[in-house]
Amino acid sequence: MRNDTFDREYEIKTLIRLGYHPDIADLLISNVVLGFQDQLFDEIKEAKQSRDKKEFVRCIVIMFSVFNTVLGENNIFLTLITVIIACLAGYFAFPEKRILAISGFVFGCIAMPFIYTHYLQNTDYPNLKVIILTAFSFGPAVLVKYIVSKLKYSEED
């Protein structure tokens, strides 16, 4: 059914040839189809919950980084707390790609205070400053995640 090669009529005829009554064969195939639909629905529901959890975690990590940078005056203790939160978020929210998530989040959390201090602290547009700061910090984090994924998968080949 997943490969879209399932033919209900063919399967019913196969069961009839095996000696099943036509009504029983139809009932058996209907039960299989309903079971597959329930399984597919559960998989879709689980994927949606996983995607929502990942989006929530991304927002939390970015919010902690922004608050630490803009309001924390680049305190090393607060940066360390943000890095720990980023590690925990990457570990628990992305179980299939933990190393990639942790490396991207940590890079973004560490880069944000430096970018703010050296480039954006004296700009006149505070709202735009936060957007630019987030883009410059977590944009290269995607590049770090890509490089780590290439290194990781090249070792497995």
- Please state, in angstroms and rounded to a whole number, the distance separating the CA atoms of residues 108 and 70: 14
| DSSP code per residue over 108-148 | HHHHHHHHIIIIITT-S-HHHHHHHHHHHHHHHHHHHHHHH
| The one-letter amino acid at 56 | F
* pLDDT digit string (tens) for the chain, length 157 residues: 666 777 778 888 888 888 888 888 888 888 888 888 888 888 889 888 888 888 898 888 888 888 887 776 667 888 888 899 999 998 988 888 888 888 888 888 888 887 777 766 666 666 677 777 778 778 777 777 778 777 766 555 4
Tokens 């990639």, located at residue: 100
pTM over 0.75: no
Residue-wise burial string across 62-96, b where 16 or more C-beta atoms lie within 10 A, e elsewhere: bebbbebbbebeeeeebbeebbebbbebbeebbee
- Residues 144, 104 contacting (CB under 8 angstroms): yes
Domain boundaries, the chain: 49-156
Interval 36-49: pLDDT, tens: 888 888 888 988 88
Both tokens assigned to 57:
């975690």
